[in-house]
Structure formats: C-alpha cells, structure tokens
Structure 1
Amino acid sequence: MRLSVSLGLWQDRPADEAVRTAQIADEQGYSEVWVGEMATYDAFALATAIGMRTRRIGLTVGPLAVTVRDPMMIAMGAASVAGLTGRPVDVALGTSSPVVVEEWHGRSRAGAATALREAVMALRPLLDGEKSDFSGTRVSSKGYRLRLPAPRSKLSVAAFGPAAVGAAALADRMVLNLLTPASAARLITDLRLISPTTRVAAWVVAAVDPDASAVEQIRRGTLPYLAAPGYGEMFAECGFGDLVAYARTRPHPRDLLAEIPDGLLESIALIGDSVEIMDRLDAYAEAGVDEVALVPVSSDGDPYGEATLKALADRP
C-alpha cells in the first residue's frame, strides 16, 4: 500500500507547523503531500510555499469546495503552483461543510452534489490546457484557456454519500475521510460497480506511540463527526450508539468530549506502536484502499508529527 501525507492543519497548533510537516514528509521519501484549506492559509499559497521549501515531493491541493471556487479559479491556481514550484500539482474537490460554505463564505450549498460532478467534467479539459466550454446546471465556464503551461493535474473527489461516489467515478481518485475499514469497504464496493479503475485513498489520522496530548488532539478532531448524518451511524455500528444518541442532543462540547472513549478513536485512526499500526493499515488494504494519506498528529510530545512520519516511512 502506498503512503502519502495530508497536513492536519490542527487548530490549536501554530499554523506554520504545516510547512515543516511537509518538509519532513519530503525528507522521509513520501511521494505526495495533500494541502487542504481550513481557517488559516489559502491552499494554493501554502502549496506554493511548500513547493519552494522542499526538494521533490508532489502536491495535491484540496479538497476545494466546488460551491465556493469555480473551475477557472481552480485551474489557474493549480497552474500557478506548478509554474512557480516546478512540481507536479494535482487537485482534490469536495462539497465541504455548511459551516464553511454557508456561514464563512456566505454561499449556498444547494445542488452541491450536482456541482461536484459538473466541476470534475469542467475542470478536466481546463487542466489539460484546452479552452473551457462547459455549461451545467450548477457549474459553467466558457472561453478561458490557461496562459501558463497546463498542469495536467489528476483529479480526486472527496466522497461519502452515493452522489459523491458517482462523481468520484469520473475522477482519478476517490478520497475517504475518517472512516472505519468496514465503511470504506462499502463505499469502495459502490464505486467498483461504476468504475473499476478509479483509485481509492483514505485520509487516516496517525500517531505512533502517542502521548496524552496527541490522543486528546484526535479526540477533539472527532467531536464534530459524532452527530453528523452517516458518521453517527458508522460509530453506532462500531458499538457507540449511546454516545451518538447523546451527541445528537447537542450537549456542550466539553461534556461530549469527556465521553468519547479511546476505543472510538482507535476505530478510525492509526494509534499505537508501529506493529499495531501496520495491522490497521492491512485492514484498510483489505477493504480495497490503494493509498493511505497519513494525517500525522502534531502535539507537545511529537511536534510536526515528525516521529510518526519517520516511524511509518521505515515500514516493511
């Protein structure tokens, strides 16, 4: 199984740690770093900084919310990063959350599933250097052609529900986030009914021999998903139905955090010594995952996730 690295962009850690984590991934021989976008850096700006401060690692920018960024913006951004850094640059798309799209950006998520599918169709020719000529119900772009060299980016789609899986079938990769191996296997089965060739990557939080601060970091990162549709059912399937029911009563986050057991974290994260983590990686491989994008926990005991990245770079 191929391992890549995805930047955690941890909210309670210094934002500039992301660049150092990417440098460590480059030094340790990982072939790709996923550069997402949260509340700090613009994803294309961060990817450019990483490309200029590393030697060889490839870059995937995103997932980018398709109801926030249009195809021209994304194509120009990818070509800009590739042109400025000389690196291969791929693109990941998603629908993002109501908080990000509707509250932060003031945009509508109406028709997000359609927009995701149409964005894949509109972006492919743009990224290959062709003039845009696409008109869908949610996405359109006509008459633009990149003036920079075409990055010929591969496209990845973050998927969870059936519509997103259908959009991922049109892309080069489907990306899964915070899923158990069993849930990943079901989505991959659905994908294979549509596309036998689309590769599958899973972002999985990782902490080798974590200290208490690293475990708490993972616990806080899991909090927003407990009550979410689909995710709640996944956790209930793992035996945490009472916790999901409690989460859906909307308790104070502090009270909910205190109830999250380590067993729940272990169901969706790589936690433990290197042998235990290898067994978990095998479970994802058996589910049909082609690539695990490690999300290394940055904590007081392991700043930048350096120890985790070094330990897993040396795997058999």
Structure 2
Amino acid sequence: MNPSLAVSLGFWQDRPPSEALLTARLADETGYRRLWIGEMATYDSFALATRIATTTTNLHLTIGPLPVAVRDPMLIARGVASVADLSGKDIDVALGTSSTLVVRDWHGREWSGRALRESVQAVRSLLSGQKTVFEGKAVSTKGYRLRLDPPKSAIAVAAFGPAAVRTAAQFGDRMVLNLITPRSAAALVEQMRHDAAEAGREPPKVTAWVIAAVDSAPDAIEQFRRGVVGYLAAPGYGEMFNEAGFEDLVTFARTRPHPAELLAAIPEELIHSIGLTGDAASIKAQLAAYAAAGIDEIAVVPASVDSDPGGRRTLTALQRITGE
C-alpha cells in the first residue's frame, strides 16, 4: 500500500514568499487533507498557519518543525494553542533541532541536540493543559499553564541522526524525515522501530517530506538542484548521497567550491533519487520504494516555478496518479 499524500510548503528562495499561500490554497482545492507549515526566512509559522487555517476548508495543519533551540516550550505551546483557538481547527506541531546556520547565525543561540528530547516532553505536558514544571539540562519551564483551551496536539519529531530518531521513537507521535532517499529512510525507520520496542511503545507513524515535479519540467529540476547545494557536504546527508552513488560529487562539495561551481556539478539523477519526478510510472515506482521503506505519509513539496506556479499541475497530477 502506498503512503498517503500530504503537502508541505516549499518556501523556495527564488519565488515570491506569497506563493506559499497559493500552494496551501491549491492543496485545499485539489483534495489534500494535511498540510505541513515549516519555518524558514520569510513568514512566522504561527502567523502563516493562522492565515491558512482561516482561509482554507479541509486542511489539517502541522506547524513546524520548529527549532527548539530558538523557541522554548512555553512559546511553542502558546503559539499552537493560539492558532487552534483563533482558527477553530485542530493543529499539530513538529519539533526539530534545525541547523547551526539558523540557530547560531540567525538567532545567536547555542545549538543543542539535547534540547530536542527535553522540549518534546515539556511541550507535550503544556499542550495537554497541565501546569508544568520541567527541569532539564538544556530546557526548563516552571509554573505556566495554557489559558486557552489545550489543543492536545500530536507532536512530530524531525529526525536524521541517532539521537533524534531515538527521541521520536520514545516520545513522538510521528517521525518526520526531510530530503531522504528510500534506502536511507528504510534504515532510519528500522532504527526507530527498534528504539520504540526497547521503550515499550508502539512505533510512531513516519512522514517523509519529498520534493515533487510531475514530468520533471526543466525549471523545476533547476529549482531542486539549487535547493540541495547546501546539503551535499553536510554530515549525514553527504553519506546518504555517497550511498546513492554520488561519491565524487560529495567529495567535491567537501572541498568547499563556489556554490555556482557545485550547482553546475549536480546531475539530474541526484534529484530523481530524492524526489517524485518523471512520468507516472517513475513516480509510482518511487512511491512504492518509500512504502517499502516504511513511510506512512509523503508530504509533497511541489516545485513552484514559472511553468507551474504554486505547484498546481504537480499536485493535481499526483492525485490522479495515486488515485487519491
């Protein structure tokens, strides 16, 4: 059985920020039921989620992954409860560690892997409406209770490394993976299920955010190629691309070439290894590969380009291809 389909907003740097709203509207109109709203360099995710929740009809929203070294548990819980109260809709949340660029450079905070594990526990208590006292080594909160109705949201954990996978297994309602090959996804799902069994829990569901462009329009592939430049040399991602057969490219990326040189070296085949691209048969094969890896839901990140603004054509075609 193929994974169910959801949509995740792309926040493409080469497009107007308002196209995120267009993609959300198109997801609603074309029959998707779940939308993931991350946070990058443009909109505050709570503000954007409130706008989307009050201007769409059928979408169940997940806000995040939110960077736990930047947003503390009280801010996260109050923000989620605010969106739920103002929109009258059920709202879920995802937590993650984000990158050192976002945490250290943009926000001037210290990046901490431990903060993820502790934040999930503290946020869960706060979202249930409890007056919370939590004293961790990286995260603490004392005495706050939501004055708005507790949204009792499901909590997803963004995972890639072993510690984050273990946190998802032990404390999350869902694990979310981003920019992942089916082979790497399978290894992470297997590890998560092992960790969940050791913790005496049912393994959480797994969502993968997957870039998508039906029929691989050239401008869409170019957008995706630009989007992966920063990942090729990153710990973990470099090894994933090595396993996918792109060892020479990863070696080159780790010499720190000029981004334009690295972009020029990225083959289209790399995009196909991490995306829903090509014709209907290719996309069905990739969906089957993610299903075999243990992925329950694919949150489609559609290209938004001149040939397909907001991703309308891709979102519509995926519904037709999967019969959803």
**TM-score after normalising by structure 1:** 0.98
Instruction: For 2:230, give the aligned amino acid.
Output: P
Partner of 1:46: 48
SS in 2 for 1:176: strand
Partner of 1:96: 98
SS in 1 for 2:246: helix
**CA distances 1:112-146 after superposition (whole Å, capped 9, x unpaired):** 22110000110111111111111111111111111
Contact 1:57/1:87, CA 8 A, preserved across alignment: no
Give the Cα separation in 2 of the matches to 1:210 and 1:88.
35
Aligned pairs for 1:8-27 (under 5 A) are 8-27=10-29
- Of stretches 290-299 and 206-215 in structure 1, the one that deviates more from structure 2 is 206-215
Partner of 1:163: 163
Partner of 2:120: 120
Give the Cα separation in 1 of the matches to 2:209 and 2:275.
9
SS in 2 for 1:239: coil
Instruction: For 1:225, give the aligned amino acid.
Output: Y
Q: CA deviation at 1:14?
A: 0.5
Partner of 2:177: 176
1:287 equivalent in alignment to 2:289: no
SS in 2 for 1:160: coil
Give the Cα separation in 1 of the matches to 2:138 and 2:232.
30
Q: CA deviation at 1:244?
A: 0.5
SS in 2 for 1:164: helix
Contact 1:89/1:153, CA 8 A, preserved across alignment: yes
Give the Cα separation in 2 of the matches to 1:273 and 1:150.
45
Q: Runs of 5+ in structure 2 lacking a partner?
A: 197-201
Partner of 1:236: 242
Give the Cα separation in 2 of the matches to 1:22 and 1:32.
10
Partner of 1:271: 277
Partner of 2:315: 309
SS in 2 for 1:4: strand
Contact 2:77/2:127, CA 8 A, preserved across alignment: yes
Percent sequence identity over aligned pairs: 60
Partner of 2:199: none
Q: CA deviation at 1:64?
A: 0.5
1:218 equivalent in alignment to 2:219: no
Give the Cα separation in 2 of the matches to 1:310 and 1:147.
41
Give the Cα separation in 2 of the matches to 1:274 and 1:67.
41
Instruction: For 2:290, give the aligned amino acid.
Output: Y
Q: CA deviation at 1:35?
A: 0.5
Partner of 1:193: 194
**CA distances 1:201-227 after superposition (whole Å, capped 9, x unpaired):** 100000011321111000001111110
* Aligned residue among 6, 9, 17 for 1:7: 9
SS in 2 for 1:223: helix
Give the Cα separation in 2 of the matches to 1:42 and 1:210.
31
Aligned pairs for 1:121-136 (under 5 A) are 121-136=121-136
Contact 1:130/1:145, CA 8 A, preserved across alignment: yes
Partner of 2:72: 70
Contact 2:157/2:172, CA 8 A, preserved across alignment: yes
Q: CA deviation at 1:263?
A: 0.8
Contact 1:56/1:87, CA 8 A, preserved across alignment: no
Partner of 2:147: 147
SS in 1 for 2:216: coil
SS in 2 for 1:143: strand
Contact 2:168/2:174, CA 8 A, preserved across alignment: yes
Give the Cα separation in 1 of the matches to 2:155 and 2:137.
21
Instruction: For 2:31, give the aligned amino acid.
Output: G
Q: CA deviation at 1:197?
A: 2.4
1:252 equivalent in alignment to 2:258: yes
Instruction: For 1:127, give the aligned amino acid.
Output: L
Q: Runs of 5+ in structure 1 lacking a partner?
A: none
* Aligned residue among 52, 55, 61 for 2:57: 55
Q: CA deviation at 1:158?
A: 0.5
Partner of 2:37: 35
Q: What is the RMSD computed on CA atoms of the aligned residues?
A: 0.8
Give the Cα separation in 1 of the matches to 2:182 and 2:161.
16
Contact 2:192/2:203, CA 8 A, preserved across alignment: no
